[in-house]
Structure 1
Amino acid sequence: MSRSLDIDLLRTFVAIAETRTLGRAAARIGRTQAAVSMQVQKLEALLSQPLLNRTGRGVTLTLHGERLLGHARTLLRHHDAAVADITGAGLTGTLRFGCPDDYAAAFLPHILRSFAGRHPQVFVEVVCAPTPRLLAQLGQHALDLALISTTEGERSAAILRREPLVWVGNRHDHAATQEPLQLALSDPDTLDHRAARERLDAAGRPYRVAYASGSISGLLAVVRSGQAIAVLTQAAVPADLQVLPTDARLPPLPTVGLSVRFDLPRPPELVVEFAEHLQRIVPAL
């Protein structure tokens, strides 16, 4: 029997694989969750194999699902490239994009892969840095646009996503109980650094900044060593570290917003297209 893989079914499957929940996948592709569930069932029936494991926290891929994912991404990339080439709808050029370090691992692969599928002739240069450094580069026109973190009360462009700041520690140590509390924080002008110090000062908790750096890999290395705790956005917490519970001695932290900022008041078409892509995909990640 001849079996043909439908592009829409594959696109839905990839969205589920990347977001790990049917609800977020539905939001990304603009369908209802019931429609997404039906598409998965149709794809599983077509291939005569289970593709997803349903859990209380979302979905994971089966062995067959993992194998299909690589094929699906390849097929979608070639399909979208062919459509863009024949119709002339694809954009070309180079885009300079800035992203905060703590969102890079969680968001960038999905953002870049899905945009490349639609516009394979566009080359995206990525700069990962704390928000103050990204704002400086926007002001110097070294970037075309950037995702930036904003405080709850700060006026900015439309907020694409809100993320709580959380205390993060090693799963196997007691760094949060040290006196004074040892902190590994980003640069002093960043939101996590300011929020941590302000909340601890208000709580009267003694602390010491043991490590301060714009490099998130350096911060994570210190936390993994058990020497200090850090402050990250919840989406950026690696699986081997834990979100620490808050209490009177480790007070709750604020929520930050994620928005798009441009270097020009009237950005070119390519920049606008990428910004619209961010608006579609970032809330669903």
Structure 2
Amino acid sequence: MRQRGFDLAQLRTFVAVAESGSVSAGAQRVFLSQSSVSEQLKKREERAGQPLFVRSKQGVNATAAGSRLLDHARRIIAMSDAAFEDLQGRSLDGELRIAITDYYRPHDIARILKAFSEQHPRLKLHVTVLPSAVIDSNADDDASFDLGLSLRLVTGKPHSSGRRGGAASTVVRREKLLWVSAADAAPRPAMPYQLVLLPSSCQLQRFVVKLLDEHDVPYLVSHSASGVAGLQLALKAGLGISCLNESSIGGGVVACAANIGLPALPAVEFHLLPARPGESERVSNARMALMRLFA
């Protein structure tokens, strides 16, 4: 009799490829070779009886059938993880408050938090979007959140997280920082550069202004947005240029060409703040579970 259903490990591989957009990136996420992942995808499509991906030089995109399977796969994986955590005595209940920067994967964060909630259905989740500087500076004393995820520039200079005792934060993701503009903008923007920025409370925007000043690049601030979503809309509307980390670049916005006279940008990292003294077992377990999802 032909086996029914799907293998859980292969479903994890399928989800990794679908979310990363390429076989090579998906292989890195599940710690397998590209050939192994390609073989798993082939078996998955044979089992499904229809193509799950459209392949091109740019990567892979899920077909209609692949998108349906992706929804099922995420729920199946979440339920499996929840069952395992429960049997290990690590199932979470009560309430958990997370402070998170809105630069972190804005097009994907809702799905990530939904997966976390499905893994821990008895946990009530509260999420607050705050500037990274506020998250870092209140790491010790702010009782409004249990866990914080902030963005930091990779400049080679020491960074103070505000956490007493020198406890190190955990880097869960590293991305390129890019100059960006509307997809239909002129290849070479007019001088002075029209900047679309967030308020000065944003460390990334302060860095951009300082960097341009240091390199004597002429600019003026043409639009100020209140958050990353507003920044994306202003960029898409062609109101100017700005810089965004890779996962924040949305539709209608593209990276600027490298030869338009703008200084090079550093990478950015997303840090999960370290435990506070006396952190509860519930928060510690949630930290470990979120580290896997945030990565």
Compute the displacement of 1:204 (Å). 1.4
- The alpha carbon displacement at 1:82 in A equals 4.9
State the match for 2:190 in structure 1: 178
The number of residue pairs the alignment matches comes to: 283
Give the equivalent residue in structure 1 for 2:5: 4
Pick from 158, 183, 186 the counterpart of residue 154 of structure 1: 158
- Structure-2 separation of matches of 1:36 and 1:118: 25
Question: Deviation at 1:144?
Answer: 0.9
Which amino acid is 2:279 matched to? P
C-alpha contact 1:179 1:206 (8 A) present in aligned 2: yes
Q: Is the 8 A contact 1:115 1:274 kept in 2?
A: no
Question: Residue deviations 1:76-123, cap 9 Å, x none?
Answer: 444444555566542212111122112242441343233234322222
Match of 1:240 in 2: 252
| Structure 1 residues 48-127: aligned runs within 5 Å | 48-82=49-83, 89-127=90-128
Moved more, 56-65 or 155-164: 155-164
Q: How far off its partner does 1:263 sit?
A: 6.5
Change (3 A) 1:267 1:24: farther
Partner of 1:13: 14
Answering whether residue 175 of structure 2 is matched by residue 163 of structure 1, we say: yes
Question: Using the alignment, how far apart are the partners of 2:150 and 2:227 within structure 1?
Answer: 16
Q: Is the 8 A contact 2:8 2:77 kept in 1?
A: yes
The worse-fitting range, judged by mean Cα deviation, of 41-50 and 15-24 is 15-24
Q: Secondary structure at the match of 2:133?
A: helix
Write the distance in 1 (CA, Å) between the matches of 2:206 and 2:200: 7
Q: Is residue 144 of structure 1 aligned with residue 146 of structure 2? A: yes
Question: Superposition pairs for residues 178-217 of structure 1, below 5 Å?
Answer: 178-217=190-229
Letter in 1 for 2:270: L
Deviation at 1:253, TM superposition (A): 1.6
What's the secondary structure of 2:46's corresponding residue? helix
More moved, 113-122 vs 159-168: 113-122
Unpaired runs of at least 5, structure 2: 160-167
**How much is the aligned-residue C-alpha RMSD, in angstroms?**
2.7
**Structure holding more helix per residue:** 1
> 1:93/1:34 Cα in 2 relative to 1: closer, same or farther (>3 Å)?
farther
When residues 40 and 196 of structure 1 are mapped into structure 2, their CA distance, relative to the original with a 3 A threshold, is same
Q: CA deviation at 1:142?
A: 0.9
1:228 equivalent among 201, 221, 240:
240
Which digits, 9 at most, give the CA deviation of each residue in 1:259-283, with x for residues without a partner?
1114723422232233323433434
Tell me, in whole angstroms, the C-alpha distance in 2 between the residues paired with 1:157 and 1:76: 28
Shift of 1:234: 1.8
TM-score scaled by structure 1?
Answer: 0.85
More divergent stretch after superposition (64-73 vs 92-101): 64-73
5+ residue gaps, structure 1, are: none
Report the 3-state secondary structure (helix = DSSP H, G, I; strand = E; otherwise coil) of the residue aligned with 1:135: helix
